[in-house]
Structure 1
Amino acid sequence: MLNNLIKSLTPDYGKLRLTRVFLILCIVALMVRFPFFFRDYVDRDESTFILVAQSWVNGHLPFTELWDVKPPLTFLFFASIISVFGKSIFAVRFFGTLLVVISSFFTYRITAGLTSKKVAFWAAIFSVFLQSSFGSLQGVMSEHITMAFFMPALYLLTKKHTFFTVFCTGLLLGVSVMVKLNMAYAILFIGLYLIYSYVREKKYVDGFLHTSAYGFGILLIIGLTILPYYFQGISDLWWKSVVQAPLEYANARRYSIFKMAPLILVLTVFFLVAWKKKYIDFKNIVVQLLLVSIIGVVLSFVKGGRVNGHYLIQLHPILIVLVAIVLGQLSFIQKVDYKKIAFLVLILLPVEAYLEYGNIIKNKWERGTFYNGEGISVPAYIKNNKLDTSHILFLEYHIGYWVLGVNPPTKAATHPSNICKDEMFKFYDNPRKTSMEELKYILEELRPKTIVGRSNRSIFDLDLVQENAYINTYLEKHYEILTTVEKADIYQRLEGL
């Protein structure tokens, strides 16, 4: 019975058409990501993107009313969805799923050009899982958006180069870098590789024309993102927010190089073994393109000084191509019944999805709605009890601003942690210069009647001793916990204070 089930779910690789691959990837991605369509938020960054996007829909360019350290096209993705579907977290997560499908589909196409359709199919399937499982990957991250443009661009470069195709590649990569700035390293390395390849083949005229088209496509997209700011006379805000702020952020938030050593070591060992055992043909132009892209992405991690879990989304769709090629040649894998192993892995991998299916069913049974999380239940409590929302401060669950239809009390509070990133203040001309000044302004001058925080958790990172000590003391003296909704404490300001 198990053999029949596995056989029915396994495609005939020889007859595998692109439309069927895309459809299968859609089904797998929806299966894994669908239950998270109803959760208030998965990662706080996603909530911030939504807030800035809503501000844009309301007529305010990114960085003008609300601020976060991302290029404008990150917010444009969310703003486009909100402008059509309104305040629908379901729609945001649905289109996020399509992003995963698109990048994984081009993982398939690139892999199929290097090896068999069978290996390419499973590379694409695991690309979906690697972008959808563990931690915050079920939300819609900027990395999902950037790879949905980067992978098609990489695929175009594996085909015969014409002025038009290389120009289109540049356009796609321009979008990619205006979603996630650190992709500039990979894009630069690809450009240098193109120049090298044309010089090596002594195609000087084609090389000049094509690399010019490549660069022009990238610069055109970047220029288009500047235009709205130029017309409003605030081009300097674009420059400071899109270029200077991320560089400062990377320097200020740098981790020890030793924290990235495991990733670099694993990749080095993998490529050394693949080269020594001749599992990968490093003379192949497509392989070289993949390799320079991987080097560019990893270098961006090193320069940025950190690797969060969702950062690896920028690496997985590219790296899985080469990993799949190597695994497909290992003798012990060829001898085992890979279908049963693959079936077992596919059953075990989406454990988080299974748990979330149970969560939404439970929530429907207990509360009458599939939508769940404090970002939904806390605003509902605030609305039902008519609490004051003027200058309301969410120190956690800040998607609640969106649900309530209000803005954060200050530009620095767009993301709760930004309040304490005072190295960023100068890039959006914040009137306060330090995090303590910002906190005191919000609490002592704006004096929000309602504050939302997370129960039994430090308000800010533990290393922010002064900020935590101040806000804890202030809350204890001037506020009381009105109620606790799930894991959220709702504070009310004491009368007369």
Structure 2
Amino acid sequence: MSYTLINSILKNHAELKDRTVFLIISCVSLFIRLPFFFRDYIDRDESTFILMGQSWVEGHLPYTELWDLKPPITFLVFAGIIYVFGKSFIAIRLLGVLLVTSTAFFTYKIGQEAHSKKTGLWAALSTVILLSLFGSLQGVMSEHICMAFFMPGLYLLIKYKKWKTTLLAGLLLGIAVMTKMNIAYALLFLGIFIFYDHNKKQHWTKAIGYSSLFGLGILLIIALTLLPYYLQGISELWVSSVFKAPMAYIGARRYSILKLAPTFVVLAGFFFYTWKKQLLNFKIVPIQYVLVAVLGVLFAFYKGGRINGHYLIQLHPMLLVLVAIALNKMEVFKRIKWKPYYLFILLLIPMETYLEYINIAKNKYERDTFFNGEGISVPKYIQDNNLDTKNILFLGYHIGYWALDAKPPTKAATHPSNICRDELFPFHNNVRTTSMEELRYIMETLQPKTIVTRKNRRVFDKKEEDENSYIDAYLVKHYKVVATVEKAEILQRLER
């Protein structure tokens, strides 16, 4: 039956309706991501976004009570979900499905404009896979939110050449940049290309008008995120957190150029090969827009000096459109006939999903709940044993604050790794200037009664040698392990 359905879609792809494609993408996205609805946390960044969103729901603007290195719309999205659905992992993970579906659907639409519905569909399905599997992508990352707005904005620029759609594209891309700042380079590249695209026949007025409208939409969204801070007289906190802190972070956390080189070499090889073999027609306007966006993202990676796995979420949707077009034109792929056993190969791809389905079934059998992970089991143990939750520090599994209605002891502790990012301290008004000062303040002045760490893991990254040496020695001297819950250790402060 599945083989017949796929064969029918491939043969009749030109007759596919948008609602059918959207339904297909939605079902694939839901199937792949569903078993991860019940995990406590998948990436530590997602846990931090949840804490920031919860703080906003309770009336605290981002950066005022808690702090993290992201623009405010990331936290607004989480705050909206929490405000409507309460503390629900399922609602947050369902948001992830919707974000991936939106991104993939507009990948399909762009692929359709650049080549064909068939090409767009394969690019869209590949987008779902690469935005949902491998590493920590099953959670909701800021890049997921960013691309859910970026791709429809890019589609509007490609499909329509009207004043109102250009303004709307600017608004959508403004939301994207206020979710993930490094996408700003792609917006800059696109703005320049809009001017070029509308000035091909020396239409200076039109070129200036369209590019200005595009920029106006972006600036309007940025201004709206500033507004609540301006009204409270704390505009400088917004400027520092949104603009200054990311620049300081980039300057302090760059990779070696050798780590960046493989990605750039492979993509340069791809573009050269597809140009040489005429697999991509770079004279077609939709392909030009996609290429400009790809180059903007790559330039952001270069300027940022690092490429983490989840950063590639910003690259994959556009790149997959170009890859799908190139593959569709290659003779070797044209000769391939769809066979039933190809379905078996396709079904092997989401292996992580199958393993997680098994994991939640096992957890249901053993513990009578689908929900699993230390972020759930540790808070439950703390509550069941009446351990202190008012003065608590999560050095691991910090989603536990959310379950316990607790708060991190300082702004820098919102995300545990931020304790060691002393280059960011000036931007959230921290009176302490180094990570060691911050750590000593937390441990020796605040003296948390309860601490949660990851069992048999260093508290901080390996390169943070001084901080690890200090915290290890301090915990041995002043704390005792009262329980080991799965892969977490719960420590209590010794009475002196």
Query: TM-score interval w.r.t. the shorter chain?
Result: over 0.9
Could you tell me how far apart the structure 2 residues matched to 1:479 and 1:57 are?
Answer: 34
Coordinate RMSD, CA, aligned: 1.4
Could you tell me how far apart the structure 1 residues matched to 2:4 and 2:220 are?
Answer: 53
Q: Which amino acid aligns with 1:315?
A: L
Could you tell me how far apart the structure 2 residues matched to 1:172 and 1:464 are?
Answer: 39
Indicate the residue corresponding to 2:411 in structure 1.
Answer: 411
Range with greater deviation from structure 2 (228-237 or 328-337): 328-337
Q: How does 1:392-411 map to 2 (within 5 A)?
A: 392-411=392-411
Indicate the residue corresponding to 2:17 in structure 1.
Answer: 17
Q: 1:339, CA displacement in angstroms?
A: 5.1
Q: Indicate if the aligned counterparts of 1:133 and 1:349 stay in contact, CA closer than 8 A.
A: no
Cα distance 1:5–1:110, how it changes in 2: closer, same or farther (>3 A)? closer
Q: Indicate if the aligned counterparts of 1:6 and 1:339 stay in contact, CA closer than 8 A.
A: no
Cα distance 1:271–1:378, how it changes in 2: closer, same or farther (>3 A)? same
Q: Secondary structure at the match of 2:114?
A: coil
Indicate the residue corresponding to 2:314 in structure 1.
Answer: 314
Q: Secondary structure at the match of 2:233?
A: coil
Determine if the alignment matches structure 1 residue 66 to structure 2 residue 69: no
Q: How does 1:34-433 map to 2 (within 5 A)?
A: 34-338=34-338, 340=340, 343-433=343-433
Q: Secondary structure at the match of 2:453?
A: strand
Q: Indicate if the aligned counterparts of 2:479 and 2:491 stay in contact, CA closer than 8 A.
A: yes
Could you tell me how far apart the structure 1 residues matched to 2:200 and 2:3 are?
Answer: 52
Could you tell me how far apart the structure 1 residues matched to 2:425 and 2:303 are?
Answer: 22
Q: Which runs of 5+ in 2 are unaligned?
A: none
Q: Indicate if the aligned counterparts of 1:32 and 1:132 stay in contact, CA closer than 8 A.
A: yes
Cα distance 1:440–1:349, how it changes in 2: closer, same or farther (>3 A)? same
Cα distance 1:294–1:433, how it changes in 2: closer, same or farther (>3 A)? same
Q: Secondary structure at the match of 2:179?
A: coil
Q: Secondary structure at the match of 2:159?
A: coil
Q: Which amino acid aligns with 2:462?
A: L
Q: 1:343, CA displacement in angstroms?
A: 2.2
Q: Secondary structure at the match of 1:260?
A: helix
Could you tell me how far apart the structure 2 residues matched to 1:261 and 1:434 are?
Answer: 32
Q: Secondary structure at the match of 1:387?
A: coil
Could you tell me how far apart the structure 2 residues matched to 1:395 and 1:71 are?
Answer: 24
Q: Which amino acid aligns with 1:323?
A: V
Q: 1:369, CA displacement in angstroms?
A: 0.8
Give the TM-score normalised by structure 2: 0.98
Q: 1:345, CA displacement in angstroms?
A: 3.8
Q: 1:237, CA displacement in angstroms?
A: 0.3
Q: Deviations over 1:347-377 (max 9, x none)?
A: 1111110000011111111111101000000
Could you tell me how far apart the structure 1 residues matched to 2:6 and 2:297 are?
Answer: 37
Could you tell me how far apart the structure 2 residues matched to 1:248 and 1:468 are?
Answer: 23
Could you tell me how far apart the structure 1 residues matched to 2:375 and 2:342 are?
Answer: 37
Give the TM-score normalised by structure 1: 0.98
Q: 1:40, CA displacement in angstroms?
A: 0.4
Q: Deviations over 1:78-118 (max 9, x none)?
A: 00000000000110010111000001001101111122222
Q: Secondary structure at the match of 1:137?
A: coil
Q: Secondary structure at the match of 1:366?
A: helix
Q: 1:198, CA displacement in angstroms?
A: 2.1
Could you tell me how far apart the structure 1 residues matched to 2:441 and 2:84 are?
Answer: 36
Q: Indicate if the aligned counterparts of 2:199 and 2:206 stay in contact, CA closer than 8 A.
A: no
Q: Secondary structure at the match of 1:459?
A: coil
Q: Secondary structure at the match of 1:452?
A: strand
Could you tell me how far apart the structure 2 residues matched to 1:73 and 1:50 are?
Answer: 13
Q: Percent identity?
A: 58
Could you tell me how far apart the structure 2 residues matched to 1:86 and 1:56 are?
Answer: 13
Count, aligned residues? 496
Q: Deviations over 1:387-435 (max 9, x none)?
A: 0112200001000000111100111000000001010000011121111
Q: Which amino acid aligns with 1:321?
A: V
Q: Which runs of 5+ in 1 are unaligned?
A: none
Could you tell me how far apart the structure 1 residues matched to 2:463 and 2:251 are?
Answer: 17
